[in-house]
């Protein structure tokens, strides 16, 4: 099951870009898309690279798998072309990095599709997110900005979860009830264009409790 939801976003800045004056507009970031896969029922194949229950990422897979589930976050930056470092044409080999806290609820469903809360348990993690293509590379983003001239874009990230064992009684089906994503922190350090910056987003929810 693929679900798309938006959530509130809060951006915080550690500093302006390189050589930025106080009255220069700072670079802002917003979440354009939050896309989640919550497998219902939950029947992952830990070793599969293909098919509806796959959990493994194949070459050039930059999104969560249908079997194990996960989520993607795509962002958009603004005021990049107004930064002194951008105007000066400075080279930038920095990286945007993202960390996140997640909580998933698993359990068993009856044949009628009702979730049995007596079987419910949570899996909570704090982790680094994987890169979507080359988009977290500042050099790649700045090249795109300089060649498109009008479009705004930003780094993208995703999480593909590891499989979880869900044991159910006969006649019941394993399922992932919900996904909660919070404290998404995207940061960049020592960038001649973006400076030292961090942005925070969340919460996002998907699944039966969304």
pLDDT attached to residue 17 = 40
pLDDT attached to residue 193 = 95
| Exposed/middle/buried for residue 82 (C-beta within 10 Å: 0-12, 13-18, 19+) | middle
pLDDT attached to residue 132 = 96
pLDDT attached to residue 10 = 41
- Give the integer Cα–Cα distance in Å for 196 and 177: 38
Bridge partners of residue 76, in order along the sequence: 30
pLDDT single digits (tens) 155-166? 999 999 999 999
- Give the residue ranges of DSSP H helices in the chain: 84-87, 138-148
pLDDT attached to residue 22 = 54
Q: Which positions ≥6 away from 178 have C-beta within 8 Å?
A: 38, 104, 105, 205, 206, 207, 208, 209, 210
pLDDT attached to residue 145 = 95
pLDDT attached to residue 9 = 43
Q: How many CB atoms lie within 10 A of CB 167?
A: 8
Residues in the chain where the model's pLDDT stays below 70 = 1-24, 209-210
CB 81 within 8 A of CB 153: no
């Amino acid at each position: 099951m693929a679900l798309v939801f938006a959530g509130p976003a809060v951006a915080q800045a550690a500093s302006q870009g390189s050589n930025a004056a106080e009255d220069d507009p700072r670079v802002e970031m917003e979440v354009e898309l939050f896309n989640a896969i919550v497998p219902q029922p939950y029947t992952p194949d830990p070793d599969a690279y293909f098919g509806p229950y796959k959990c493994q990422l194949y070459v050039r897979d930059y999104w969560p798998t249908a079997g194990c589930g996960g989520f993607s976050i795509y962002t958009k930056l603004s005021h990049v072309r107004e930064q002194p470092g951008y105007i000066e044409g400075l080279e930038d080999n920095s990286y945007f990095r993202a960390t996140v806290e997640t909580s998933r609820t698993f359990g068993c469903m009856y044949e009628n599709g009702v979730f049995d809360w007596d079987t419910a348990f949570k899996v909570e993690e704090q982790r680094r997110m994987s890169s979507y293509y080359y988009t977290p590379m500042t050099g790649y983003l700045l090249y795109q900005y300089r060649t498109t001239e009008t479009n705004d874009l930003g780094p993208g990230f995703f999480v593909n979860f590891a499989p979880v064992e869900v044991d159910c009684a006969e006649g019941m089906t394993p399922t992932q009830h919900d996904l909660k994503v919070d404290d998404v922190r995207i940061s960049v350090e020592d960038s001649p264009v973006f400076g030292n910056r961090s942005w925070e987003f969340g919460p996002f929810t998907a699944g039966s409790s969304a």
